[in-house]
Every structure is written in structure tokens, then in C-alpha cells.
């Protein structure tokens, strides 16, 4: 059983899998919704915190990588900038997990001038809210269909 929770942790920590996918999968697999939510939250927050802490080095690496590829900003990045301009860091953080991903939201927020402290606070709130939403809705929906 530890193996399944380790997969939840790793899945939540990987960008693009994140909590929106692993929480419903873990609950549907029959794991405890509470432990799935806790494990997914910690897994996702860990990598987001590492990104926030190491942002300066990561940004230098990322900018070089994008320049080497000759890439233009992606549609996700453009969407994030529109959200930032309209709703600021709280909006980007709260909408990020469902629209662009938590890691991209944190990175873009900091790129656009948010402090590490504010980004951390808003990402904790956002990931916490979405963890509860995905977990509770999946558990209730799964119970509804299996009852």
C-alpha cells in the first residue's frame, strides 16, 4: 500500500500530472481519500517550493533553454499573462492549477514580479483549495456511483 501512496506523491510532484489527475486516480483506485489528498498536496507543494526557492537559477537555465530552441512564448504562457494582468497573483495562483499547472503559475507569477513570499502563500492556498475540491468531489462522486 505504501507503493501506491508513493506513486501519488511522485505523480503530484511531476508538472502536468499534478493534483488534478492523481487525486481522482488515487481515490478511484480505492485508496483513502484523506491520505491521497495529504500525499498529493505534499508532493505538489514540495516541487513548487523547490521552484520558488531556486527560481533565480531556474530562470537563467530556462531562458537559455528557450533561447536555444528559438521558441516563442507558448499559449499557456500567454494565457497566464492575461490572467496576471486581469487578476494578479491571487488569480494566477487560484486559476493556475486547472488552466496551466501549479509549477507554470508559480514560475510566471515570479517572472512577472511577484515576491517569493507572496508566491509561496498564494500557492499554498491554491494547492490546498484545489486538493480539497478534487478530493471531496471525487470521493462524493465515486461514492454516488458505487452506492
Nearest-angstrom CA–CA distance, 133 and 33: 12
pLDDT tens digit string along 120-131?
999 999 999 999
Q: Is 21 exposed, middle or buried (0-12, 13-18, 19+ CB in 10 A)?
A: middle
Residue 144 has a pLDDT of 59
Is the whole-model pTM more than 0.95? no
Q: What integer is the mean pLDDT of 109-134?
A: 93
Q: Is pLDDT at 132 greater than 70 in this prediction?
A: yes
In sequence order, what are the residues at sequence separation of 6 or more whose Cβ sits closer than 8 angstroms to the Cβ of residue 91? 83, 84
| Residue 59 clears pLDDT 70, i.e. is over it | yes
Predicted local confidence at residue 49, as pLDDT: 94
Ordered by start, the domain boundaries in the chain are 2-146
Give pLDDT tens digits for 89-108: 999 899 988 888 899 899 88
Amino acid at each position: 500500500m505504501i507503493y501506491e501512496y508513493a506513486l501519488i506523491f511522485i505523480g503530484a510532484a511531476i508538472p502536468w500530472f499534478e493534483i488534478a489527475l492523481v487525486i481522482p486516480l488515487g481515490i478511484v483506485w480505492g485508496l483513502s481519500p484523506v491520505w491521497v489528498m495529504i500525499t498529493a498536496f505534499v508532493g505538489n507543494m514540495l516541487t513548487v517550493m523547490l521552484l520558488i526557492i531556486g527560481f533565480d537559477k531556474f530562470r537563467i537555465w530556462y531562458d537559455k533553454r528557450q533561447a536555444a530552441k528559438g521558441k516563442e512564448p507558448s499559449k499557456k504562457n500567454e494565457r497566464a499573462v492575461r490572467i496576471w494582468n486581469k487578476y494578479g497573483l491571487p488569480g494566477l495562483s487560484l486559476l493556475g492549477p486547472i488552466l496551466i499547472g501549479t509549477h507554470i503559475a508559480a514560475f510566471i507569477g515570479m517572472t512577472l514580479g511577484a515576491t517569493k513570499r507572496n508566491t509561496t502563500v498564494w500557492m499554498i492556498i491554491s494547492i490546498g483549495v484545489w486538493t480539497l475540491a478534487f478530493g471531496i468531489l471525487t470521493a462524493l462522486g465515486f461514492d454516488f456511483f458505487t452506492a
